[in-house]
Structure 1
Amino acid sequence: MTLDDIPNSQPTAPSAVTEIAAWSTGYVRRHPVAALQTVGRQVALGRGALRYLATDIVTRRFPLDEFIAQSAFMVRTSLLPTVAVALPISATLSIQFGLLAGQVGATALAGAASGLAVIRQSAPLVTAILLAAAVGSALCADLGSRKIRDEIDALEVMGISVLRRLVVPRLAAGVVVAMALTGVSCFVGFLAGYLFNVYVQDGTPGSYLATFSSFATSGDLYLAMVKGAVFGVIVVVISCEKGLNTRGGPGGVANAVNAAVVASIVVLMVVNLGFTQLYTMLFPRTTL
């Protein structure tokens, strides 16, 4: 018997392809279950927070000081970025609609098209994305830091409802600030489109205002406000859920913040599409 005839008792290391295939298979199996669990926690958190918000306001147990502090923080964090983003987006819409209207010989309709686009789509969506990026990340980081320092568990041990004490005032502040910033974004966007159309594209002020007032209705502004309120709820609920379920130390906080921002933006885009399609079906326009 030679050495070649003796079987090798040492196991061979798995190849990189085998490891990648095993990880991919496990991820495909785990991800749908984890996604459903996350959605379930977010729905339960949002439902409980809305219920406590209503009952606390009626029973006068609403933490007004925390609501004011959170509202001031959200405005201070997101006001300037919202205005800074609304200006170039509105100018871009004015450029595109102005060029398109010039190609079809309907330059007088540029004001109506760009103004309606700002109020219906640009203003609420820009506000929501800035809330998710600036406010949502801050909320998630704050609650995540408290979670890994065991402050959340300490509140629960003392019998203090984390949902009432931390989530409810942030939810109310998020709704109010989102609606206010949506109004600001509508005004800034319309003003930017007007100035750009008049002073850069040589449009007439009377034509811009006349065409906008002919096609815009109060329902468009109501839709923008409703969108802002719903978007505010989505951002706060997702950010708070990710923060309260943070684990893994400081690295886990960073992962939770990243997941909160990405999930918020994806959900906002899907909900905005649903709002737009539903509004178009319920209130069809026979003209522009």
Structure 2
Amino acid sequence: MGRMASNYLRQHPVVAVSTFGRQMGMGVRAGRSLTSDIVHRTFPFAEFIRQCAFMASTSVIPTLLVAIPFGVIVSVQVGAIAGQVGATSFAGAANGLGIIRQGAPLVTALLMAGAVGSAVCADLGSRTIRDEIDAMKVMAISPLQRLVVPRFAAAMLVSVLLCGSVCFVGFITGYMFNVFVQSGTPGSYLGTFAAFATIGDLVLALIKSVVFGAIVAIVACDKGLTTRGGPGGVANSVNAAVVSSVILLFAVNVLFTQLYTIVFPARLV
């Protein structure tokens, strides 16, 4: 038992680095292939539209249902803290910025990883264990170009649309809760939000969502195309895809937040 544990601890970092490198390589190839296919008009738009429709139908309703209570929770916490320090008039700025800068991208990322990523991984994993991927390679059809690139592009587009929807729904929910439940002032809520928020905050959220969608698509496709072990292997791949995506998404979110704070420091009003 001790030897098995030692071997696992010694091999696991190597496997993790190898997997990360393979996924980075797939991401670079997918981006290059996407650009080339669009330029040369060989991009499979029909498959892209199907994937967009599938991802949207899978994730829109759960994402919006999560955005509503998320906006309420943020409003409750911000309202409580603002009331303790006597800054209730700034609840709109804190609530709106919290939702746009952090809440909307993270809600979008988690729902994309849990709903879209798992579905994409299960689809490609099932194709892999049925030897469909090997058959495509035998017929000189690139699985990357035919399967990965449309899902890669669709995930980025759907992620941006979901992030914008969460920003709107979360802000409106927080506003209504603050005004009708916490007896806040509509004018001060909107005024403080307009004073502190900038276009850069929304741009940052949308850029995050694009990157998050790309990460979810690449991790899910990589895990699906490397599935081994029959139906049980598909389940393991789906689990690994969701967990790996969530870890990467939170790490990238921290990186984006720190870079944005350094490049665009908070301005005084």
Normalised TM-score (structure 2): 0.99
Q: Which of 50, 55, 59 in structure 1 is aligned with 2:31?
A: 50
Counterpart-to-counterpart distance in 1, 2:73 and 2:223: 34
Give how far 1:40 is off.
Answer: 1.2
Q: Is it true that 1:74 corresponds to 2:74 in the alignment?
A: no
Matches within 5 A, 1:126-205: 126-205=107-186
Q: Which runs of 5+ in 2 are unaligned?
A: none
Counterpart-to-counterpart distance in 2, 1:193 and 1:174: 28
Q: Deviations over 1:153-183 (max 9, x none)?
A: 0000000000000000000000100000000
Give how far 1:89 is off.
Answer: 1.1
- Which residue is 2:12 aligned to? 31
Counterpart-to-counterpart distance in 2, 1:286 and 1:40: 39
Please identify the structure whose Cα radius of gyration is greater.
1
Counterpart-to-counterpart distance in 1, 2:213 and 2:105: 10
Counterpart-to-counterpart distance in 2, 1:165 and 1:76: 22
- Which residue is 1:101 aligned to? 82
Q: Is it true that 1:227 corresponds to 2:215 in the alignment?
A: no
- Which residue is 1:16 aligned to? none
Q: Deviations over 1:20-68 (max 9, x none)?
A: x122101011101111110111011100000000000000000000000
Counterpart-to-counterpart distance in 1, 2:5 and 2:81: 47
Give how far 1:122 is off.
Answer: 0.2
Matches within 5 A, 1:58-69: 58-69=39-50
Residue 251 of structure 2: SS of its match in structure 1?
helix
- Which residue is 2:102 aligned to? 121
Q: Which runs of 5+ in 1 are unaligned?
A: 1-18
Q: Is it true that 1:251 corresponds to 2:232 in the alignment?
A: yes
Counterpart-to-counterpart distance in 1, 2:85 and 2:135: 66
* Identical aligned residues as a percent: 61
Counterpart-to-counterpart distance in 2, 1:59 and 1:81: 37
Runs of 4+ off more than 4 Å: none
Q: Is it true that 1:285 corresponds to 2:229 in the alignment?
A: no
Cα-Cα RMSD: 0.7
Counterpart-to-counterpart distance in 1, 2:91 and 2:118: 37
Normalised TM-score (structure 1): 0.92
Give how far 1:286 is off.
Answer: 3.8
Residue 82 of structure 1: SS of its match in structure 2?
helix
Counterpart-to-counterpart distance in 2, 1:128 and 1:251: 26
Counterpart-to-counterpart distance in 2, 1:286 and 1:254: 48
Counterpart-to-counterpart distance in 2, 1:274 and 1:116: 18
- Amino acid of the structure 2 residue aligned with 1:197: N
Counterpart-to-counterpart distance in 2, 1:100 and 1:140: 42
Residue 153 of structure 1: SS of its match in structure 2?
helix
* Number of residue pairs matched by the alignment: 269
Residue 52 of structure 2: SS of its match in structure 1?
helix
Counterpart-to-counterpart distance in 1, 2:140 and 2:78: 57
